[in-house]
Structure 1
Amino acid sequence: MRTILSDLGLESPMVGTTVTAHIKSSGPDGFRCAVYDPATGHAMDAQLPRADAYDLPDGAAPPELVAGDTLIALVVGVHAATPGGDQRLLLSVTAPELVERLLSGFVDELRTGEVVIKSIARVAGSKAKIAVAPTNGRVDARGACIGRGASRLKGAERLLNRAFGKERLEIIEYSSDRAVFLANAMNPVHAIDVLVERDTAVVSVEEHQLSGGIGEGGLNAQLAGQLTGLYVRAVKDGTDLRAALRQAVADRSAARAV
């Protein structure tokens, strides 16, 4: 899986790390923050772009950040604040990698490499699905990430939602079998049957679960698709999956042609 470090290069040891950002002020372009170096205690200037902070799904409440608030963010870049001046860190609260970093802080098995994150699908402020797999057969990857009494998962959620939002994290068991992986990714909805062809899939669910299979505005199916790399359509049990798949392919083609 590509990480934020892969995309940005090693501009600074801070890039790719999670930090506590202290809001100092806000302006048209975003929020000016202070981040304290854990080694030296030195305060560094940082910027959370307003576009990033407000890049939320329909229905998610935007942040009401004021001076004195703190939030957990990911350092995604470094810029010169002024010619010859100190550097300014560029922050993000919507990057999928932020979820990975936060979860790793609670899950020993992620830090030791006994469990790996295969992919993340996230709509910031609403929900994220994280696919995990063990590197040996003795570890329950999903159980390790959730923790006893969901303590590890809830701990990561609390940090993620410190300043705003009610984002939920869901741990999904990865499988190299795309149909099995997609069925897992549809959690908490039970997939009765799955048909996958190339990059398109249809999933049948019980009729009373259909709205849950689609999710809020299609969110559950959307995230399941992002996680597995598939375009996903949920249909009620008893539907001809082959016909539904042909229709999904045709609809995608028509949408691309517009």
Structure 2
Amino acid sequence: MRTILSDPDLEPPLLGKAVTAHIKSRGPEGFTCTVYDAGTGRAHDALLPRSVAHELSAGAAPPVPAPGDTVIALVEGVSDEGELMLSVTSHELVERLLTGFVGEILDGKVVIKAIARAAGTRTKIAVAPTAPGVDARRACVGPGATRVKGVESLLNRAFGSETLEIVEHSDDRATFLTNAMMPVEVADLLVEGAHAVVVVEPHQFSGDIGERSLNARLAGRLTGLSVQVVTPGTDLRPALDRLAAETA
């Protein structure tokens, strides 16, 4: 299967492309790298800025590439000196990699509607079909989850354990948010304006899933909603009003 990383049409300056960056050294500004054009074999100087921001758990040390490592990065720009400027945290990097693995995206049968990413930890991707009979989520996950695991493998090269969750998009905001909250099962919810209160059962309400959880924050980013998770028995209307006041 051809992926974005082996696309023979890649040409300098490779802007907006996913590339393999070979770490050479590190300095005060970041990590100097070499990127090879897949089509011509030409080597390009590149910089991965030190300000790589991963959304990590408290106390976790940020990943630090070492000379000799290779990382998959997005070419975000080109300096005045012709040096490629790289990113490993951009949403576009995930989009480019997934497109390379999913033929249905390349063919236009599936579209990526939104991405919410905590780089290095977790990413949610909303997808939708453009043709009848196409299961967009299944196409992106792939047989035996091979496609989504392939993207994860590239993202995590020297950078940890980021997981990807493929979500079915819906024009109905309540349905979309329910999908986006997976793997948490939503027992009830109230959506109004830019805010939503979601009810989950107590056995799912934990540090990982609770009201301030990464799962809820990413679901909110994906759907464009400010989300609070509550336990059964909570009066949803006052909870929603409080949430709206807090985020005003």
215, 218, 222: which one pairs with 1:220? 215
How far apart are 1:207 and its partner, in Å?
Answer: 1.2
Alignment check: 8 A CA contact 1:128 1:170 kept: yes
Secondary structure of 2:217's counterpart equals helix
Aligned-residue CA RMSD (Å): 1.4
171, 177, 183: which one pairs with 2:178? 183
Secondary structure of 2:213's counterpart equals helix
Amino acid at match of 1:58: S
- 2:105 corresponds to 1:110: yes
170, 173, 180: which one pairs with 2:165? 170
Counterparts in 2 of 1:18 and 1:194: CA distance versus 1, 3 Å:
same
- 2:57 corresponds to 1:58: yes
Q: Which residue of 2 aligns with 1:76?
A: 76
How far apart are 1:213 and its partner, in Å?
Answer: 3.2
Partners of 2:210 and 2:143 lie apart in 1 by 29
Post-superposition Cα deviations, 1:74-109, rounded to whole Å, max 9, x if no partner, equal 00001122xxxxx11000000011111111111111
Secondary structure of 1:72's counterpart equals strand
Secondary structure of 1:51's counterpart equals coil
Which aligned pairs between 1:90-101 and structure 2 lie closer than 5 A? 90-101=85-96
Amino acid at match of 2:56: P
Q: Which residue of 2 aligns with 1:158?
A: 153
Alignment check: 8 A CA contact 2:13 2:78 kept: no
Count, aligned residues: 235
Counterparts in 2 of 1:61 and 1:158: CA distance versus 1, 3 Å:
farther
Greater helix percent: which structure? 1
Secondary structure of 1:94's counterpart equals coil
Which aligned pairs between 1:113-152 and structure 2 lie closer than 5 A? 113-152=108-147
Partners of 2:110 and 2:159 lie apart in 1 by 29
Partners of 2:120 and 2:199 lie apart in 1 by 28
Secondary structure of 2:147's counterpart equals helix
Sequence identity percentage:
59
Query: Could you tell me the TM-score, scaled by structure 2's length?
Result: 0.91
Structure 1 unmatched ranges of 5 or more? 1-11, 82-86, 254-258
> Which sits farther off after the overlay, 66-75 or 238-247?
238-247
Alignment check: 8 A CA contact 1:61 1:165 kept: no
Structure 2 unmatched ranges of 5 or more? 1-11
Counterparts in 2 of 1:47 and 1:13: CA distance versus 1, 3 Å:
closer
Q: Which residue of 2 aligns with 1:247?
A: 242
Query: Could you tell me the TM-score, scaled by structure 1's length?
Result: 0.87
Alignment check: 8 A CA contact 1:146 1:152 kept: yes
Which aligned pairs between 1:181-220 and structure 2 lie closer than 5 A? 181-211=176-206, 212-214=208-210, 218-220=213-215
Which aligned pairs between 1:30-49 and structure 2 lie closer than 5 A? 30-49=30-49
Partners of 2:35 and 2:150 lie apart in 1 by 22
Post-superposition Cα deviations, 1:190-236, rounded to whole Å, max 9, x if no partner, equal 01112111101001111111224337x52011000000000000011
